[in-house]
A and B are shown apart, each in its own frame.
Chain A
Amino acid sequence: MNNTIAAGHAFLAVMRRDLHVFLSYRTRIVSQVLTSVFSITLFYYVSKLVHVEGFGSPQTYFGFVVVGIALVSIMYSCFSIPELVRQELVAGTFDRLLLSPFGAIRSVIAMTLFPLLYSFVLAALTLGMACALYGLKLHWSTVPLSIPAMGLALLAFLPFGLLFAALTVSIKQGAIGTTWVIALISIVGGLYFPISLLPHWVQTAAKMQPFTPATEVLRHLLVNSPQTTSIQAALIRLVVFAAVLLPLSIFALSSAIRLGQRRGTIIEY
């Protein structure tokens, strides 16, 4: 029991550490909020300019794309984990985490807490600013349901970050492939436009990852977008992705660390 409490404190300590480091860069939050403002402004005018087939009004497309923008920030936070691991390797703090009773695996999982929570806040701010600045209408009766749905989506997204973290431990590079993976998911996940516009085979590929069902569910709950599949089916797909990929990604990370210890490459950076 004492160990469980101490482990809980250790998880929170990692989150608190990341918060302190984040706050020590005073302009970071300002620049990120401004990025969101510019993005929603850009798409607000794009939505007015272009008449998109399948959307009743410019405002409908604007609501569609704002949810996509909010999800992109969450996706970025998932894919920031390998870069965080890379920073720990370079700073020599990864060795210390590995040699602590808390251990490297739990430390890496704990490292995901602050970026995910922060991206969650940033997503909420993006939606709030879209409401305040450009009159986005949220579907308030189902907005509270988006919070547990977002939690489930995070569990389904997290394995991607952990898998790339395992790769970083092995090959010592942080950003390898993450940029193009994010770009690819932005397209096949339907973050900026409906996947029905894509070629048929790409639509099939879009069903192979959790970002598409997560986007659909959250759009439905936040701005009442019509569902192409049932919400239950989308949620079940998210549960399956999380249940299968989470243990797999933790196993991959653990194996990468063990292999690094056996080969001695864990000390390299």
Chain B
Amino acid sequence: MTSRSLEAVATPALTDSVEYSAEPVARQPDPVPAEGAYPLAIRAASKRWRKDLPLVLDELNLILEPGTTTWVGGRNGVGKTTMLRVAAGLIDPDSGRAEVWGVTARENRARYQQLVSFLPAGDRGLYARLTVRRQLKFWARIAMVAPALLEATVERSIDTFDLRELADRRVDRMSMGQRQRLRIAMTFLTDPEVVLLDEPLTSLDEEGAVLLQAAVAEVLAREGAVLWCSPSGEHLEMEFDARWTIERGRLVAA
């Protein structure tokens, strides 16, 4: 075990809740060659929220190959959401980087955001007073979808996620599950190449889960990649190409 790993492990906040052994963190994915370009590459990303807290991400590496799905699990607060936020370009790692096809969000933010779509956990990110259709139109315009394609993009999304009956209903008059379906529709609205999902099954019924799986399959069919995070994978019927959990800031094969 490296000295850096020992420091991280020895902090009280971590030892309170994690059982660990002196086993080295040996199954961390191999460091990725710098010249490699992938749908998504997180390279040696480290993040610490406060100086007196342990690293949430400790030189974490993750590669998503084209046409693959990856599941990352782990207990609450282990760093899954932080990893997704770094991958989405929402927050910066203290060191390391996240790249989409070799480009970071700092280098070309607009392009990065066109390629990546992020579904955060929870039920936020919606305008309560807008209808489903207006919500989708708004986000399509903010995603800078060409005006000529806008109507078709929105109507296709409404059909894909079976939102036709809800299309003219305001969000604050919808159930949690219906809102989650809308949030998922927003995530897949502009055919992103990389989709980052944080606990996407929250509040979703079986029908919604099937629609989500179909949307994931479409991303894979166009050689995109999906990163799916949830605390536990036991309820998932999906086939993942790779399964990891985060332990002490690094990925360990699940």
Question: Measuring CB to CB, which residues of chain A are less than 8 angstroms from any residue of chain B?
Answer: 2-3, 5-7, 9-10, 12-14, 16-17, 20-21, 24-25, 91-93, 95-103, 107, 261-262, 264, 266-267
Of residues 128 through 153 on chain B, the ones whose CB sits less than 8 Å from some CB of chain A are: 128-130, 134, 137-139, 141-147, 150
25 A–B contact pairs at CB < 8 A? Answer: A7-B144, A9-B141, A10-B141, A13-B138, A13-B142, A20-B130, A21-B130, A24-B170, A91-B124, A91-B128, A93-B124, A93-B127, A95-B125, A96-B142, A97-B142, A98-B90, A99-B90, A100-B139, A100-B144, A101-B110, A261-B91, A264-B47, A264-B92, A266-B91, A267-B85
B91 touches A99 (CB 8 A): no
Given A20-B130, A264-B49, are A101 and B144 also a contact pair (CB < 8 Å)? yes
Closest 10 CB pairs of A and B: A92-B124, A13-B141, A6-B144, A92-B125, A24-B129, A100-B142, A264-B91, A102-B142, A101-B144, A21-B129
Question: Measuring CB to CB, which residues of chain B are less than 8 angstroms from any residue of chain A?
Answer: 47, 49, 82, 85, 88-92, 109-110, 113-114, 116, 118, 120, 122, 124-130, 134, 137-139, 141-147, 150, 170, 186
Q: Which chain A residues lie closer than 8 Å to B139 at the CB level? A: 96, 100
Given A7-B144, A261-B91, A264-B47, are A17 and B120 also a contact pair (CB < 8 Å)? no
Q: Which chain A residues lie closer than 8 Å to B47 at the CB level? A: 264
B143 touches A17 (CB 8 A): no
Q: Which chain A residues lie closer than 8 Å to B113 at the CB level? A: 99-101, 103
Q: Which residue of A lies closest to B117 (CB)?
A: A99
Query: Which of B92, B116, B127, B145 contacts A21 (CB under 8 A)?
Result: B127
How far apart sit A267 and B88, CA to CA, in the bound complex (Å)?
12
Query: Which of A20, A98, A101 contacts B143 (CB under 8 A)?
Result: A101
Closest-CB distance, A159 to chain B (whole angstroms): 23
How far apart sit A3 and B124, CA to CA, in the bound complex (Å)?
28
Closest-CB distance, A12 to chain B (whole angstroms): 8
A9 touches B147 (CB 8 A): yes
Q: Which residue of A lies closest to B170 (CB)?
A: A24
